[in-house]
Amino acid sequence: MSSILVYISTNGGKVKRSSLEVLSHCREQAGKNGLELAAVVLDPRAEDYIDTLQSYGAKTIYTVSNPIFINHLNAPVSQALEQVIAQSKPRVFACASTEGTKDVLGALAARTGGAALPDVAAFDVTADGVSALRPVMAAKILSQNDARADLILVSVRSGSYDASPSPVVAGVVPVDFVPADISQVLRDVLSSAGDKIDLSEANVVVAAGRGIKDEEGKQLVEELADALGAAIGASRAVVENGLFPATTQIGQTGKVVSPELYFAVGISGAVQHTAGMSNSKVIVAINKDGDAPIFQMASYGLVGDLYKILPLLTAEIRALKSA
């Protein structure tokens, strides 16, 4: 039986929520099209994820265990995925759209001869291909796209589907993988304080914009995030001026997030920023300019000075959480 193969991304010993969203949607699509649902994990200990993946309905799980996957390097990742694709011959290869998968999707499509639909907001597997919706023009427009090929590769924006379990007993296929000699060398991995919580997986995000002018403002954002147990995000303006690390950037260049609760603090709401956060369930905007475009999409808009509002808000939330 032909299959849909889902490439699973992991972080800190867990399957990423965005991968479980893709797996859940592919399970439904496999059911509709009489295809099998398969998953592939690349990790130093790929077996560790079998329980989670079968609880979301993966019937076949390809495990590629190798210490090389402890850090991200595109050459061994592409090589391993190419090998698993050759072995399992799926009709559709799907993955969450992350910086890790964006790094390999184009090369993998070229090497397998597959058609690629990157960063889709929705997709359906049909009798003769895949049809998908993609945001374009800084997410002002949705384009309807079709792909026809023996193999179609799709990457999916986080928050496009719900992750819903549906347990099965999976067949596990350990893959014998020998990394080829690669000329690429990983010299170093740099991380910053902003990396503690994976932004694109967070349930609550506090995002800072140019309204945050200094270290004092940054601290107000950090305290609110701490009180809420939230991840910290940022607009490009405050990444550019060095106040926040590039890892925290949300938007067209940065990450796509889809939390339950999103605070836009001192962010005007440029299309290139909202491209990355408009899937959030509840949006709170704090901005002193009542005409800022962010208010057109905020669930709750607070017109006022963030330097006055944040300390009070943080104190009230702390009081609430300790009550």
Residue 269 tokens read as: 């709401």
Residue 303 contacts ligand FAD per CB under 6 A: no
Residue 72 contacts another protein per CB under 8 A: yes
Give the footprint of ligand FAD on residues 187-216 (CB under 6 A): 209-211
The DSSP secondary structure of 22-53, one letter per residue, reads HHHHHHHHHHHHT-EEEEEEEETTGGGGHHHH
Give the footprint of another protein on residues 197-236 (CB under 8 A): 198, 200, 236
Return the range that interacts with another protein (CB under 8 A); candidates 40-48, 97-105, 172-180, 208-216: 97-105
Distance CA 173, CA 160 (A): 29
Least distance (Å) from ligand FAD to the CB of residue 200?
13
Site string for ligand FAD, 237-276 (x = CB under 6 A): x-----------xxxxxx-----------xxx-x-xx--x
Q: Count the site residues for ligand FAD by CB under 6 A.
A: 27
By beta-carbon proximity to ligand FAD, the closer residue of 100 and 211 is 211
Give the footprint of ligand FAD on residues 44-103 (CB under 6 A): none
Which helix (H) or strand (E) segment holds residue 307: the answer is: helix 306-322
By beta-carbon proximity to another protein, the closer residue of 165 and 304 is 304
Return the range that interacts with ligand FAD (CB under 6 A); candidates 29-37, 103-111, 222-230, 283-291: 283-291
295 binds, among another protein, ligand FAD, none (CB under 5 to 8 A by kind): another protein
Output the 3-class SS for 198-238.
CHHHCCEEEEECCCCCCHHHHHHHHHHHHHHCCEEEECHHH
Least distance (Å) from ligand FAD to the CB of residue 291?
9
For residue 155, list its beta bridge partners. 95
Distance CA 38, CA 175 (A): 14
CA nearest 28: which of 57, 55, 60, 61? Answer: 57
SS3 320: helix
By beta-carbon proximity to ligand FAD, the closer residue of 253 and 296 is 253
Contacts of 307 (CB under 8 A, 6+ apart): 216, 217, 220
